A and B are shown apart, each in its own frame.
Chain A
């Protein structure tokens, strides 16, 4: 069980601002991610979504504070589980899924033969994320959906303070995406981990997100997905390619179903 499965901790972003060269890309971002909460960040291209991720990952300089707070004490060091959008290796690189996970969870060199113990551990982990059948495949040759599941398995070992997902929808078909979001939902309940997910895809993520954040340099709106997405003026800034009437219709049905479901649970 992670140390923070207590409801008393959260990832805090206070007064965050980022400049790239002379351009102010982000300013005055205040965000609190409670544990077990799934937050989706949406916004037009160039709104600073990727920069926000980079700031949390510590890859760009920023002012303000980013940290993990346990009972009010802010710790700068956040243990992040990161699921990148894509890999930077070639299709044919001889690194199997087993190699990749073994590298992430054990110190035993993967260029030597892996012990049965490590193999069993990897198999158990992959099974939890419904991808045990991919163990011997080359990681560069996986489909978008398969890769996301494997990366998620690695990101959750050991259980992080915060799970960051970068555009999971970009290379995944609709069926794969539904399965992936379901896995993410299960994982955050099981580990009580907060999830921050940056996405272009509004309709599919909306039913799963607890909170949606509309980002354009700063946070323009946040709240339940239904509330944020009913602001038509805001949505127009996303551009017609990302948001059309049919998607809106699908989305409304999805949110209604979820709300009814939640009300039923309450």
Chain B
């Protein structure tokens, strides 16, 4: 057995990485195609406010506060977008500023922000078996949701009016996806970190996009790249003594860089 696998925390972290990676890859395919990258970033940053609300309520672990706040925020943004004529960029910018500011104001009261800074960069090594169980259930639930909703989601991305004529309830579908995304982001935020969670949604998918022609290759490619970079990043972070989340992101970025380089070269030739 390699040295890094002798520790319980590394084994748990490995399981966590293997569970989280496909989750992010699946959801990322629609996030990127539907131009929701900024939206998911807002959800990630909303956990600052979620943690703050958890503290105000006197919760020992703000986990549920983060999850519920992110889901409520997702619904709120969708509602706002559907009922105003402002560009979605602007609406998201407003919510982004708001959730970050509220979170920091509450958490920094009497200079106590430092103790929450591990949420910013995440700590996958702190994962315990309880977390793993939650992640396992979440993965099963998302795969089931994907079986039911993925076709409709992609059709909605292609053209909303067309989707409506095929009896797809566009508003509810978009809302359900936002909630699923919010829950996945909120559940993984402590492990991956607010600052880099969005990279996990975007990078593997962006890399797979460069080499896929059909949706099944796209999904499969994103899952493979996501899992490989997560495991590789985790192992390397053990030897380098660096933060695992950021190291994982570096690997995903390297995948993207190499694939982008070769796809540019192959088009030139």
Contacts and interface: CB of A to CB of B under 8 A. Distances in A.
Interface string A52-74: 00000111000000000000000
A109 B146 contact: yes
Interface stretch (B73-81, B86-94, B206-214): B206-214
Interface in B29-72: 29, 33
A114 B213 contact: no
Contacts of B266: none
A100 B158 contact: yes
Interface in B145-168: 146-147, 150-152, 154-155, 157-162, 164-166
B219 interface: yes
Given A89-B33, A111-B216, A103 B151 contact: yes
Nearest to A106: B151
A114 B216 contact: yes
Given A103-B154, A109-B151, A110-B154, A88 B216 contact: no
A93 interface: yes
User: A interface, by DSSP: helix, strand, loop or mixed?
Assistant: loop
Given A94-B217, A94-B218, A111-B219, A59 B164 contact: yes
Interface residues of B, number: 30
A88 B160 contact: yes
Contacts of B172: none
Contact of A88 (B26, B147, B158, B209): B158
Contacts of B213: 94, 96, 136-138
Contacts of A110: 150-151, 154, 214-216
User: B interface, by DSSP: helix, strand, loop or mixed?
Assistant: helix
Contacts of B162: 82, 84, 151, 154
A103 B157 CA distance: 12
Contacts of A116: none
Interface in A109-163: 109-114, 136-139, 151, 154-155
A96 B215 contact: yes
Interface size class of A (residues with CB under 8 A): 35 or more
Name which of A57, A88, A114 has the most chain B CB atoms within 10 A of its CB: A88
A113 B154 contact: no
B157 A111 contact: no
A192 interface: no
B263 to A, nearest CB: 10
A22 interface: no
A60 to B, nearest CB: 11
A219 interface: no
Contacts of B216: 99, 110-114
Contacts of B159: 84, 87-88
Contacts of A98: 214
Contacts of B150: 109-111
A87 B217 CA distance: 21
A231 interface: no
A112 B146 CA distance: 10
Contacts of A57: 161, 164-165
Contact of A93 (B33, B155, B219): B33
Given A104-B155, A104-B166, A110-B154, A94 B215 contact: yes
Nearest to B223: A111
Interface in B118-155: 146-147, 150-152, 154-155
Nearest to B152: A103
B220 to A, nearest CB: 8
B215 A95 contact: yes
18 contacts: A57-B165, A84-B161, A84-B162, A88-B157, A94-B208, A95-B158, A96-B215, A98-B214, A99-B214, A99-B216, A103-B152, A104-B155, A110-B151, A110-B154, A110-B215, A111-B26, A111-B215, A114-B216
6 closest A-B pairs by CB:
A94-B212, A94-B218, A111-B219, A96-B214, A82-B165, A103-B151
